[in-house]
Structure 1
């Protein structure tokens, strides 16, 4: 696999950085692209060591390997008076088909430890925001086991970039141990069928409620394939498909209906 160097990343996204923005804004964008390029290469390197294949978007086949979503962003608006307003946002959450308490604890504790290094109020505030944002009203449950969700952190404060940088560097330690610990678990056709139902929930949320998904659909020039490639490649729905009470599937659903503290 050919490495995507920082220079190639910057060249690829050059058209995404308007030349009429002030120098400071362009410098911030370049700095973030370099950060994302570095994290991307580290992630792809680790995945390639595991699977021995090239990757773009990753969809795990094993129902015991949870899906993880990591989305960090920098948005700038030019106002009518010429002023530029920029902010950071992001989400780091985990979406398993089966509840493994130690995995949930590891994921949330890793995020909490990272958040606490910046501000003790971040983790409880951003976790609550995540639980509320990823709630599916018509199902009465959250999309997954949550994580952190944040938005509107002004780019004028250097500490906010430092937090975004920490989030990027926490992706691997938060998720990789879970992936390695579950990737060799055996599974049954029944467990695959349950994973397909959970994929349906994920798809429902993104199509009906996710603001980022809708934003991408309305963004001029955005590559739609990129947006839809991030969705589960297969999903299913069933009539009265609630799991049997007391089953491992039901164990997950009970937590999704009442988010808990994990860290």
Structure 2
């Protein structure tokens, strides 16, 4: 065997290895999504896996679901979920959307869930799911879920005791300079129903306490409603360090008690 023939065979083997590795990487880790595994359960031969861009925490979370039968990803006719917090004397749900095919990778179903309290001594989260296969089989199951604490959700209530949840959506990692500033607003109609609120007004005030009775704000555009509970604006942090943002929610001309988000802004 001459050197040219040997080199040709080596290059062919290398190309095959590259294709195999590329296919495996695409199947397991979509570079556009950059997900980490959260949990998986197997029911009646079907494995339901949950992934997310980050660890699940109170506040807004993007959830990505994949269903496999053996090594094959399947597309169900329907897939629905219900997050449930089981407590000692009661249970409740949380604001969430139903999963739908993800626009970046249709092997996943994705949705947004806003968890209103962490797992722990008060109770534990489970996501109940149900899907219908292409063969008309109905599969149901439960997925335990650990939800960590965070600073990204607060709640307030009106004079009647109706509760509202204010979720810090963006920036997830506040940085010095310009940032999108987005909040999500939901209310509680019942322990199982938390609809989005899209007709409120947000009055905000960012502030950095410099100590000794001095401090300052920074340029920002107040968030306005854009639909489905989202309120979008922007903020330009003048410096890194510890900041607070006070939020007052105005609903039907009623100003609810303010909430205060405290967080760190990192240097860009």
Interval of TM-score (by shorter of Structure 1 and Structure 2): under 0.3
TM-score by length of 1: 0.26
* Higher RCO structure (Cα 8 Å, ≥6 apart): 1
Question: Which structure has greater helix proportion?
Answer: 1
Larger Rg: 2
